[in-house]
Amino acid sequence: GGSGSREAVERLVRAHPVVVFMKGSPAQPLCGFSNAVVQILRLHGVEDYRAHDVLQDPDLRQGIKNYSNWPTIPQVYLNGEFVGGCDILLQMHQNGDLVEELKKLGIRSALLDAEKDQDKK
């Protein structure tokens, strides 16, 4: 199949520890929810991730929705596992789960260092 086939999508989600399917690019997100995901990752200091612009590829846009069984974009994958969209990532950010999930991938959240600085003051 093409870029929207299950195999193609699976290859993309497994190609990197952090994969985001979004509208636009991290430098230029084209929807508020995609922008929110980019901002949350930035807060944690996660710069090294794969972002795929679904607006460039209608097949992929449909394929990723089928793959995750989740109707909306953006979608975030950690270690090949579907995490969720903007709301879920925001929730994980707020309750500390995202720091833990990143730690499992060997990624140290920048927020941990920010908290240490707070303690010194």
Q: Using an 8 Å Cβ cutoff, are 85 and 46 in contact?
A: no
To the question of whether residue 31 is assigned a binding role by annotation, the answer is yes
CATH of domain 6-116: 3.40.30.10
Domains of the chain, residue spans: 6-116
Question: How crowded is the C-beta side of 26, counted as CA atoms within 13 Å?
Answer: 15
Residue with tokens 């994958």: 77
Given a cut of 70, is residue 32 above it in pLDDT?
yes
Report pLDDT digits (tens) over 47-96. 999 999 999 999 999 999 999 999 999 999 999 999 999 999 999 999 99
